[in-house]
Structure 1
Amino acid sequence: MLCDLNIVFPVQNFNEQITRGQLNEVKNTLNVAEQLGYTHVALNFRPITATSKNNKTKLPNDLNELNPINIDRDFKEFRTRLKLYTRITVRVDDPTQCQYVAKFQQVFDIVAVEPITEKSFQSAISNLEIDIISFNLLERLPCFMKHKTLCSAIDKGMMFEIKYTDFLSNKSRAQVISNTKQIIRASRNRGMICSSGCSVDRPFQLRNYNNAMPLLKMLGVDSNRCSMMFQDWSLKVLLNGRLRIKSYKQTISVGGEDWTSNPEKVSNVKQGVEAYKKRRTESALDRVLKKQKS
């Protein structure tokens, strides 16, 4: 199973409807992703200044209007071919804007934050329950990446995203390499996912796992963790996001059939989720009670 958790959705406004031409572009990109071997794909909704101070348009009051991506209606032909999910990436430049992010957790399968400043980065780690922290690698990082800070985020279940399409830029390639190496160094080669960040009007930017792996190896990631960035760690993001919607306190799955309820597919992922780490160990009293019952 290969995951691409960042194919950019063409709509950039909550009140905007996708056109037929844009929908065809999305389907063509999904066809390319399927041919490249991807099985789990997330459509990424990036609202323009959704939480900015100067934003005049307010967020919709109805939760159903927050998500412009309708997978059941627009992508019926991909039901048996791809596992499609919805994602939102919010640019945050002020810690006070983090309160809006909580509204998206009940609507989108994956919630990601792109911090612009150091304060917003610290606030996202300490105050938010999100799945992915993403950066604009074409620009300088908001702050120096420290191992202690990144580890605290990874321990909470957050993943740091590296988009390989940023390396296709000719102007800022040196900056992209410097930012990526800083994230890899501070995270100690763990807690990262690799996605495309591909626009639907440029499906030729998509790459197979075998083509992206040499790039990650060049930056210092070993082969085993390269595969985890596309598989285990990406599936962990999906598991955390889906359990937030489909379960109560990440314990009981409710609703229709879902890949997270299949033990064969998530046996390697469950152990990495924080909710499954905190299991009560068997005490001496428990062993005595078991003997008495038997």
Structure 2
Amino acid sequence: MLCDLNIGFPLSDFNETINNDQLIEVKKCINTSIILGYTHIALNFKPSTTTSNSNKNKISNDLNLINPINLEKDFSEFSGKIKIFTRITIKIDDPSQCQNFAKFQQIFDIVAVEPLTEKSFQSAISNLEIDLISFNLQDRLPCFMKHKTLCSAIDKGILFEIKYTDFLNNRNRAQSISNSKQIIRASRNRGLICSSGCSFNNSNLLRNSINVIPILKMMGIDSNRCNLMFKDWSLKVLLNGRLRIKSYKQTISISGDNGLLDNSLEDKNWDSSKNNKINNIKQNINTYKKRKNDINDNALDKILKKNKVV
């Protein structure tokens, strides 16, 4: 089982629709991932902005219209070959840009942020319910990576992403390696995942984990943890994201394939019947409380009769 949680999606606005040429390029990336042995991938939607009031970038109040990635319509032919998930990565340079995160957490399987300043980085760790923190490794990091800060995020379940395509680019390759080593040092080699970060029209940059592990080992990560970055730790990100939007009052659905619920196995009528299910649960709780009070009253009567009080 191999995971690649960052394959670029061509759209950058919430109200755009994908055209045929772009769809063909995305499917080439997915086919290449299948050939390389990947079993779980995530299509990464990176909106240009989330705070603009213009009609072009305005976020709809209808949750069904927020996610431009339609897996059932555009990628149904990959069912049974590879599991495809949706991801959103939001660039933030000010904590005030995080007002729409509640909507994203209900729609996308993975919610990631790319902080641009130290203030936004601290806010993402302490205030946001997210799955991943990613950086543009070709530029300078927004702040110095401290062990205490990164470990507090990892303890909350937030993992950090390293993109190996930043090492393949000739531009600022030394800066990418330096930034990655700083993240690895501060995290103490844990809480990391490795993904491609490949754009939708550059499927030739995709690599198998066997080709990437030597680069990670060169930066100080042992072989076992290199494999965890592509397997168990990446799967943990998927599980955290899926449980966030598909669990209700600690009740979850489990499939027979590694415990991960696929999109094809979801109950499509859940949203329409959610209110009915909640009402039934409330009725059952009220019935239980009533029955519990009756039991307590009967027990009290027996005690009183035993002691000849009544």
Q: Flag whether TM exceeds 0.5 (same fold).
A: yes
Counterpart Cα distance in 2 of 1:185 and 1:52 = 37
Q: Does 1:253 align with 2:247?
A: no
Q: Is the 8 A contact 1:51 1:91 kept in 2?
A: no
Counterpart Cα distance in 1 of 2:237 and 2:188 = 19
- AA at the equivalent of 2:121: F
Q: Is the 8 A contact 2:193 2:234 kept in 1?
A: yes
Aligned equivalent of 2:258: 265
Counterpart Cα distance in 1 of 2:124 and 2:54 = 21
Return the offset for 1:166: 0.5
* Structure 1 pair 20–53 and aligned structure 2 pair: CA distance change class (3 A): closer
Counterpart Cα distance in 1 of 2:225 and 2:52 = 36
Q: Is the 8 A contact 1:131 1:241 kept in 2?
A: yes
Aligned equivalent of 1:289: none
Return the offset for 1:145: 0.3
Q: Is the 8 A contact 2:165 2:196 kept in 1?
A: yes
Return the offset for 1:151: 0.4
Q: Which runs of 4+ in 1 moved over 3 A?
A: 51-57
How many residues align? The count is 260
Counterpart Cα distance in 2 of 1:54 and 1:186 = 40
* Structure 1 pair 176–55 and aligned structure 2 pair: CA distance change class (3 A): farther
* Structure 1 pair 174–52 and aligned structure 2 pair: CA distance change class (3 A): farther
Gaps of 5+ in 2: 261-310
State the SS of the aligned residue for 2:107: coil
Return the offset for 1:241: 0.4
State the SS of the aligned residue for 2:13: coil
Q: Does 1:162 align with 2:173?
A: no
Q: How does 1:14-163 map to 2 (within 5 A)?
A: 14-51=14-51, 57-163=57-163
- AA at the equivalent of 2:258: K
- AA at the equivalent of 2:186: A
Q: Which structure has the larger Rg over C-alpha atoms?
A: 2
Aligned equivalent of 2:209: 209
**Percent sequence identity over aligned pairs:** 68
Q: TM-score normalised to the size of structure 2?
A: 0.81
Counterpart Cα distance in 1 of 2:13 and 2:58 = 11
| RMSD over equivalenced CA pairs, Å | 1.6
Q: Is the 8 A contact 1:29 1:203 kept in 2?
A: yes
Q: Is the 8 A contact 2:36 2:207 kept in 1?
A: yes
Q: Is the 8 A contact 1:253 1:261 kept in 2?
A: no
Return the offset for 1:120: 0.2
State the SS of the aligned residue for 1:198: coil
Q: TM-score normalised to the size of structure 1?
A: 0.85
Q: Is the 8 A contact 2:5 2:234 kept in 1?
A: yes
Counterpart Cα distance in 1 of 2:92 and 2:189 = 26
Aligned equivalent of 1:278: none
Q: Is the 8 A contact 2:87 2:112 kept in 1?
A: yes
